[in-house]
Chains A and B, each alone.
Chain A
Amino acid sequence: MIDLIGRDRPDFVLLSSLLVLFAIGMATIYSASTVISESGLFGKQLIWSVFGLAAFLVGSMVSFRRLEEISPVAYVFISILLLATLFIGKGPADRWIIIGPIHLQPSEAAKAGLILVTAWWLSSLKVRPRKFGEALVFITIIPAIMLTAVQPDLGTAVSMLLIVLAMFVWAGYGLGWIILLVSPVLAAVSSMDILFWVGFVLILSVILYRRRYPVPIWIAFIGGNSIVAALTPTAWNMLEPYQQSRLITFLNPANDPHGSGWNIIQSEVAVGSGGLSGQGFLQGAQKELAFLPARHTDFVFSVWAEETGFIGCVILLTAFLILFWRIIIAARKSVNPFNSLVTAGVGAYIGIHVFVNIGMTLGIMPVTGLPLPFISYGGSQLVVVLFLLGLVLNAGMYWREV
């Protein structure tokens, strides 16, 4: 089908939503940086934007076939970087690799690597199905997720897992599959209560029965998950105290009004005080008084919400929605499973990050430290996201290529 190679014009709707989001991001970082002693943040972000633009162009022009070939290599390389971060990591929570003036956050690149390697695996399974191929995909991605989780960056690890699961869905796997794949996580959660556990085992049995699996698979799933459930309390104790507190705080914010729950409350105050039309650009009082924690990174949305109000928030959410819509349009168009899966993975990335980050600032999601794509300050994140969106644009333009 080589003769089908053709070329569409770039998706201008996607490009315009991207431009709107980027502009909102720069404006908000400018506003946030007016009160932070590091007033150079805006300038740094501008410089990062140049790198981001380059990454975008590379992503939009790269050959998907080449990309598919190098995906496993890229994934291995990024996993090594993640491993290195554990030993030479610097900066906040030791999540950074510092090479001269450049500060890299490998866990951001790891998300791109995961999307690529998962797409590679799943598309190759389309061509040549293997026994337990899906399990192999999981075994492949586990190292990167585990390395991220032990950094410790539980939020990013969970978001990685969710992106991979979304790609499974895109590849056509049903709910039963997904439940089987994430059964260790469900086992851990259900271990809190015997009733949950019984229900979980029941559901698992139904899925296994309907798929007519042989006995050894039954033993593997039920037995393996029982071990996970039994070990969960031990694992809980191995979590960092701040992670435990974050989880507990999410379950009951009033429990800890002065700790991490406090950040959420202050963020809610900032968002809520925005009202319909906001307090005006650069006029945010919460931001001004340094009430907002991490107001240029994790809580950047609160600054935007405080200063532009409900109207500004709706504009931002609409821009993200349009972006997401155009991404999955491109994913649907793509003939090549790899291209399609990469694009869908980027869509999942955007959707999960936007919901988790904004949900956190609104107090309906736990504090995880996931950035808001295009808006949060951070070079690694911007470059990676723009590279991925370059791929999306690319896939939308060369959708006939197989």
Chain B
Amino acid sequence: MFRDKKQWSFVAYLLTVLVLFLVLGVRLFYLQIVRGDYYRSLSSQNHIRIITRPAPRGLISDRNGVVLADSRPSFIVTAVPSEFDSLNIVQVASLLNMQVDALSEILSEASSVPHRPVVLRESMSVEEVSSIAENIYRIPGVLIDVAPLRRYHRAEDFCHVIGYVGLADDPESFRGEITGRTGIELSLNGTLQGNPGLHREVVDAMGRIVEEYRGTESEEPVPGKNVVLTLDAELQRTAFENIGKTGLPGAVVIMNYRNGDILCAASSPSFDTNMFSRGITQDEWNALLQNPENPLYCRAWAASYPPASTFKIITAYWLIAEDLIDEKTMPAPCYGSLTLGDTEFGCWRAHGRMNVIQALAQSCDVFFYRTSQLGSLNELAEYAGFFGLGSRLTEVLTDERNGLVPDSDYLNSTYGPDGWGLGNLLNVSIGQGELLTTPLQMAAMTGVIASSGRMPLPRILLHEEERDPLFPVGAIDDFAFDIVIEGMLQTVVSRKGTLNRVFLDYPWDFWGKTGTAECSGENHAIVVGFTREPEPVVICVIIEHGGHGGSIAGPLARDILLSYFEGSD
């Protein structure tokens, strides 16, 4: 049987294999010759896509570890205009819970750069994004990315210090990249953001991921570093709430004058920075911009005010240190004003004859009008510079202002050499005129007095090394400091002192100085001061249009310090 059938089997084998190979050949002909061009075009559309994975952004916390800014998981949905089929627009709009018009507007605006993904919707929760995630394979060109949402705790208290983040929009940024826009978020963006991870994927003509590219290693994201501020979150809240009680815009800066730590930098009114994290709407943004009280503006250091009478502590120091007067010098009495040529320089009341300590305590302008004529404007401006006025005190606070200390060069260029004179010196000597300072600078100059010139420059990052002394060592005159300090004590304790009844029920000693900055409308109320017990802190309170410094800013400073010290016991 075997031999007989062999010929049959031979034919069966050969025929079967011939038929099978013919099938393969026909299929090859179909794929390569008939449809070759189609497959070649498909093949050419396959490409490598580089995905950047955001690194977790560092936390921001206060000096006691209270977390002020962290991140929570969130998603953004983007579309690559060149890969997106506009037939899908209605479906995508309903999946994203958006208006079709709004979506097509975003896409048509983005179509000029067709390969760059455009954000359709940001800060979506897992629940919100799940419906589109289920359908993503049916919608070529739509991508979902993880974009951690920045979350601010106590956002209203810290909005000006910490600032906010937004989606980066420079050409080098990746989809969902978050970048600092203002405040610490901006100035320490490099520290906070870490390094994004790189992930290479091979995608086909329809934008679908085929597999991870094996040519180059992926890089894991490196988390951003945490930032610890010198601020005290409880003190910040107390200060913020106390300004709020006045109903007026204002700022409070509190510093430790031994190490320069900024403990509190409250500015009111404020805003919710979480609006920016989730994507601020045009209406919300317009409301912030058009608010007459300008909540976006950090009054602690981005605003500058005339220091008014608080500046007299510098003028007094200058007069004594330069031996122009001593503690016993009593110029002609104050009759309520001083006339120079045909200009009358007013005082707020007639103080009579007094020495420098009394002049500080009762804030007599005429005393300083008379004594400052013994020196020159440039000398006074130089001393103001020693106290930190006229230049920025920090590097980290990007929106900090310089303020202004006028000297002869400034006045020459502004008014011409003949356009100014002794009157300008008299105005500057009582903190008016062209002089402008930020509340941070006013706190710092008070700190210089409190520490007899030993206070380091202010710092806001807790782990930063203590900075160099603000005041030049060569200019220290301990006697002059002692006199000014005595004057500030008498402001509080003497019967005629401008803060004499404010600190009656305050259990520790307080050294203070009031100021009333002249402006259109009600004057700005200012108080600076310091306390040695229980903590060496210096405070500056400014209430815009708050009237006389002693009557509104003084009680505010007392209340804030009281609740801080009593709370921290």
B89: interface (CB < 8 Å): no
B9 close to A172 (CB less than 8 A):
yes
Q: How far is the CA of A238 from the CA of B25 in the complex (A)?
A: 37
A-contact bits for B205-244, CB 8 A (1 contact / 0 none)? 0001011011100000000000000000000000000000
A169 close to B40 (CB less than 8 A):
no
**Which of B1, B17, B46 counts the most chain A CB atoms within 10 A?**
B17
A-contact bits for B1-42, CB 8 A (1 contact / 0 none)? 110111111101110111011011101110111011111101
A291 is contacted by which of B16, B21, B202 (Cβ under 8 Å)? B202
Which of A138-146, A218-226, A282-290 lies at the interface with chain B?
A: A282-290
B-contact bits for A163-176, CB 8 A (1 contact / 0 none)? 00010011110000
A310 close to B214 (CB less than 8 A):
no
A35 close to B214 (CB less than 8 A):
yes
Q: How far is the CA of A193 from the CA of B241 in the complex (A)?
A: 80
Q: In the complex, which residues of chain B have a beta carbon less than 8 angstroms from the beta carbon of A290?
A: 202, 210-211, 213-215
A321: interface (CB < 8 Å): yes
B135: interface (CB < 8 Å): no
Q: In the complex, which residues of chain A have a beta carbon less than 8 angstroms from the beta carbon of B37?
A: 275
Q: In the complex, which residues of chain B have a beta carbon less than 8 angstroms from the beta carbon of A320?
A: 21
B36 close to A276 (CB less than 8 A):
yes
Given A328-B10, A355-B21, does the pair A275, B36 have CB atoms closer than 8 Å?
yes
B47 close to A351 (CB less than 8 A):
no
B204: interface (CB < 8 Å): yes
Given A37-B214, A268-B39, A291-B46, does the pair A317, B24 have CB atoms closer than 8 Å?
yes
Given A355-B24, A362-B31, does the pair A269, B13 have CB atoms closer than 8 Å?
no
CB distance from A225 to the nearest CB of B (A): 26
A273 is contacted by which of B16, B25, B39, B215 (Cβ under 8 Å)? B39
Q: In the complex, which residues of chain B have a beta carbon less than 8 angstroms from the beta carbon of A258?
A: 137, 208
Q: In the complex, which residues of chain A have a beta carbon less than 8 angstroms from the beta carbon of B413?
A: none
Q: In the complex, which residues of chain A have a beta carbon less than 8 angstroms from the beta carbon of B1?
A: 126, 172
B9 close to A344 (CB less than 8 A):
yes
Given A271-B31, A272-B39, A362-B28, does the pair A36, B214 have CB atoms closer than 8 Å?
yes
B31 close to A268 (CB less than 8 A):
yes
Given A272-B39, A313-B32, does the pair A359, B24 have CB atoms closer than 8 Å?
yes
A170 close to B9 (CB less than 8 A):
yes
A272 close to B32 (CB less than 8 A):
yes
Q: In the complex, which residues of chain A have a beta carbon less than 8 angstroms from the beta carbon of B31?
A: 268, 271-272, 362
B20 close to A351 (CB less than 8 A):
yes
A324: interface (CB < 8 Å): yes
A347 close to B32 (CB less than 8 A):
no
Q: How far is the CA of A27 from the CA of B196 in the complex (A)?
A: 40
Q: In the complex, which residues of chain B have a beta carbon less than 8 angstroms from the beta carbon of A262?
A: 210
CB distance from B6 to the nearest CB of A (A): 6
B42 close to A275 (CB less than 8 A):
no
B43 is contacted by which of A257, A286, A317 (Cβ under 8 Å)? A286
Q: In the complex, which residues of chain A have a beta carbon less than 8 angstroms from the beta carbon of B10?
A: 328, 331-332
Q: How far is the CA of A314 from the CA of B18 in the complex (A)?
A: 13
B28 close to A172 (CB less than 8 A):
no
A272 close to B35 (CB less than 8 A):
yes
Q: How far is the CA of A347 from the CA of B10 in the complex (A)?
A: 11
A310 is contacted by which of B29, B43, B47, B213 (Cβ under 8 Å)? B29
B44: interface (CB < 8 Å): yes
User: From residue 350 to 398 of chain A, which have CB atoms closer than 8 A to chain B?
Assistant: 351, 354-355, 358-359, 362-364
A270: interface (CB < 8 Å): yes
Given A37-B214, A272-B38, A291-B204, does the pair A310, B17 have CB atoms closer than 8 Å?
no
Q: How far is the CA of A289 from the CA of B214 in the complex (A)?
A: 9
A310 close to B4 (CB less than 8 A):
no
Q: How far is the CA of A262 from the CA of B210 in the complex (A)?
A: 9
Given A171-B2, A258-B137, does the pair A321, B21 have CB atoms closer than 8 Å?
yes
Q: Give the nearest-CB partner of A171 in chain B.
A: B2
A328 is contacted by which of B5, B13, B20, B27 (Cβ under 8 Å)? B13
The total of chain A residues at the interface (CB under 8 A) is 54
B302: interface (CB < 8 Å): no
B42 is contacted by which of A35, A273, A276 (Cβ under 8 Å)? A273
B32 close to A309 (CB less than 8 A):
yes
A286 is contacted by which of B14, B23, B36, B46 (Cβ under 8 Å)? B46
Q: How far is the CA of A396 from the CA of B25 in the complex (A)?
A: 29
Q: Give the nearest-CB partner of B211 in chain A.
A: A290
Q: Give the nearest-CB partner of B34 in chain A.
A: A272
Q: How far is the CA of A290 from the CA of B17 in the complex (A)?
A: 32
B-contact bits for A11-50, CB 8 A (1 contact / 0 none)? 0000000000000000000000001110000000000000
**Which of B20, B24, B137 counts the most chain A CB atoms within 10 A?**
B24
Q: In the complex, which residues of chain B have a beta carbon less than 8 angstroms from the beta carbon of A271?
A: 28, 31-32, 39
Q: In the complex, which residues of chain B have a beta carbon less than 8 angstroms from the beta carbon of A289?
A: 46-48, 202, 210, 213
Given A276-B32, A305-B32, A310-B33, does the pair A285, B43 have CB atoms closer than 8 Å?
yes
A274 close to B36 (CB less than 8 A):
yes
Q: Give the nearest-CB partner of A358 in chain B.
A: B24
User: From residue 245 to 284 of chain A, which have CB atoms closer than 8 A to chain B?
Assistant: 257-258, 262, 266, 268-276
A324 close to B17 (CB less than 8 A):
yes
A113: interface (CB < 8 Å): no
CB distance from B88 to the nearest CB of A (A): 17
A209: interface (CB < 8 Å): no
A337: interface (CB < 8 Å): yes
Q: In the complex, which residues of chain B have a beta carbon less than 8 angstroms from the beta carbon of A269?
A: 39, 42-43, 46
CB distance from A168 to the nearest CB of B (A): 10
Q: In the complex, which residues of chain A have a beta carbon less than 8 angstroms from the beta carbon of B213?
A: 289-290
A337 close to B42 (CB less than 8 A):
no
CB distance from A336 to the nearest CB of B (A): 11
Q: In the complex, which residues of chain B have a beta carbon less than 8 angstroms from the beta carbon of A339?
A: none
Q: In the complex, which residues of chain A have a beta carbon less than 8 angstroms from the beta carbon of B42?
A: 269, 272-273
Q: In the complex, which residues of chain B have a beta carbon less than 8 angstroms from the beta carbon of A35?
A: 214-215
Q: In the complex, which residues of chain A have a beta carbon less than 8 angstroms from the beta carbon of B20?
A: 351, 355
Q: Give the nearest-CB partner of A174 in chain B.
A: B5
CB distance from A317 to the nearest CB of B (A): 6
A325: interface (CB < 8 Å): yes
CB distance from A121 to the nearest CB of B (A): 13
B32 is contacted by which of A166, A274, A331, A340 (Cβ under 8 Å)? A274
Q: How far is the CA of A163 from the CA of B36 in the complex (A)?
A: 34
CB distance from A265 to the nearest CB of B (A): 9
B25 close to A317 (CB less than 8 A):
yes
Q: Give the nearest-CB partner of B43 in chain A.
A: A273
Given A258-B208, A276-B33, A332-B6, does the pair A285, B17 have CB atoms closer than 8 Å?
no
User: From residue 37 to 70 of chain A, which have CB atoms closer than 8 A to chain B?
Assistant: 37
Q: Give the nearest-CB partner of A335 in chain B.
A: B3
Q: How far is the CA of A276 from the CA of B10 in the complex (A)?
A: 33
**Which of A37, A266, A289 counts the most chain B CB atoms within 10 A?**
A289
B28 is contacted by which of A257, A305, A340, A348 (Cβ under 8 Å)? A305
CB distance from B38 to the nearest CB of A (A): 7
B5 close to A310 (CB less than 8 A):
no
A344 close to B13 (CB less than 8 A):
yes
A-contact bits for B180-213, CB 8 A (1 contact / 0 none)? 0000000000000000000000101000101101
Q: In the complex, which residues of chain A have a beta carbon less than 8 angstroms from the beta carbon of B44?
A: 273, 285
User: From residue 146 to 171 of chain A, which have CB atoms closer than 8 A to chain B?
Assistant: 166, 169-171
Given A172-B1, A291-B204, does the pair A321, B33 have CB atoms closer than 8 Å?
no
Selected A-B contacts with CB under 8 Å, 14 pairs: A170-B9, A172-B6, A268-B39, A271-B28, A272-B31, A272-B36, A289-B213, A291-B210, A331-B10, A332-B7, A344-B13, A351-B13, A355-B24, A364-B27
Across chains A and B, which 9 residue pairs bring their CB atoms closest together, nearest first? Answer: A272-B39, A172-B5, A275-B36, A273-B43, A272-B31, A273-B40, A310-B32, A273-B39, A355-B20
Interface residues, chain B, with chain A CB atoms under 8 Å away: 1-2, 4-10, 12-14, 16-18, 20-21, 23-25, 27-29, 31-33, 35-40, 42-44, 46-48, 137, 202, 204, 208, 210-211, 213-215
Interface residues, chain A, with chain B CB atoms under 8 Å away: 35-37, 126, 166, 169-172, 257-258, 262, 266, 268-276, 285-286, 289-291, 305-306, 309-310, 313-314, 317, 320-321, 324-325, 328, 331-332, 337, 340, 344, 347-348, 351, 354-355, 358-359, 362-364
